[in-house]
Amino acid sequence: MKTFPAALLALFLSATQLSAADAPPTLSLAREDHWLIVRGPQIPGGEIRTNYLEAYCRAASTDADWVQHTVIAHTSEVLSLSADGKILRLRDTLADGVIVEHIITAGDDAVDFQLTARNPTEKASEAHWAQPCVRLSAFTGFDEKTAASATDYLPQCFVFLEGKLTRLPTPQWATQARYTPGQVWCPRNVPRTDVNPRPLNPLVPSHGLIGCFSADGKLIYASAWEPYQELFQGVARCLHADFRLGGLAPGETKKIRGKMYLVPADAGALLARYAKDFPEHGR
C-alpha cells in the first residue's frame, strides 16, 4: 500500500483547511409556520425572517378595507426541503382555487424564487398581487420587540430614484392614507389605485429594487421581483418588493421570479447584478 510522506500529508491537510476557511459563507433555508427563514453566518443575528406570504391581494386596494376587501385567504404547505437546506418547495392554495407553487433556492449570497401560479377553475381570479414581508430589525441593529411602527431604521433603507440610491425618508414623503404610517412607491405600469393602502409617495422608482444597510454598514439586504406591483416600507421594520399577478383567467398560468440579495455594501456591484437578473426593469 502506497503511503504519503508525513510532510506532504500535513501540507495537503493544511491546504484543505485553508480552502474551507476561505470558502464564502453560504445561506440555507427553513420553514416555521408562515415564516421563511434565511440563515447564514454573515447575517447579523444569524437569520432573516419573512412572512411568506403575508397576503394575496385584490386590485382597487389603495383606498379599501384591508380585511373586508383586499386580502384573499390562502393556505400554505411545505412540499419538500432538501437535506442541506438549499431548496424549499411550497404550495399555496388560494380561497378562489388558484394554486401557486414556489421553488426557493439558497445560494452563497442570494436566494432565488421561481413561482408558478395557475388557475385550474372556470372562474377568473381576482389575485392581483402578493406580499412577502421581510423583517429587518436585527439586520439593521434593533430589537424586534420594538418594531411596531418604528422609523429608526429608515436612514439605513433605500430605493432608487432617477437611477440613484436614495435613503429613506425620500423626498415628498407622504403621510396621509387609509392606514398610517409606512410608504409606498408605485411603478409606472401599475395603477395607483391597486397598491397598499399606506401613504403613497408621488415619486416613481427607477428600479424595482428596495433594500437596507446592516447596522455596521458592511452588508446590503435587497430584494426585487418580476413582475412587481410596488415597493413598500412597512410598519414592523420591514421592507417589501411585492410581486404582481395581475389576475388569472380560467385555465391561465403565470410565472413570477424574485431575488433576495445579501451582499457586501457595494451599491454599484448590486446594481450590476440586479440589471443582469432583471433586464426587463431596465426597459
pLDDT in tens, 205-253: 999 999 999 999 999 999 999 999 999 999 999 999 999 999 999 999 9
Give the structural domain span for 110.
Answer: 26-282
Supply the pLDDT for residue 187: 97
Q: What is the pLDDT of residue 23?
A: 66
Domain of residue 277, CATH code: 2.70.98
- Averaged over 107-132, what is the pLDDT? 98
Whether 4 is in a domain gets the answer: no
8 within some domain: no
Looking at residue 224, its pLDDT comes to 98
Q: Per residue in 135-161, pLDDT tens?
A: 999 999 999 999 999 999 999 999 999
Decide if 16 is inside a domain.
Answer: no
Higher pLDDT, residue 33 or 24: 33
Q: Are strands 219-226 and 210-213 parallel, antiparallel or unpaired?
A: antiparallel
Q: Judge whether 224 lies within some domain.
A: yes
Is the residue at 130 inside a domain? yes
Asked, for residue 182, whether it belongs to a domain, the answer is yes
Cis peptide bond prior to 5, omega within 30° of 0 = no
Residue whose C-alpha cell reads 425618508 in the numeric block: 169
Q: Examine residue 129 and state whether it is found in any structural domain, yes or no.
A: yes
For residue 1, being part of any structural domain is answered with no
Mean pLDDT of the chain: 93
Question: With 0-12 CB in 10 A as exposed, 13-18 as middle and 19+ as buried, what is 196?
Answer: buried
Q: What is the CA radius of gyration of the chain?
A: 21
- What total of structural domains would you count in the chain? 1
Distance from C-alpha of 99 to C-alpha of 101, rounded to nearest angstrom: 7
Write the CB contacts of 77 (distance below 8 Å, at least 6 apart in sequence): 90, 91, 93
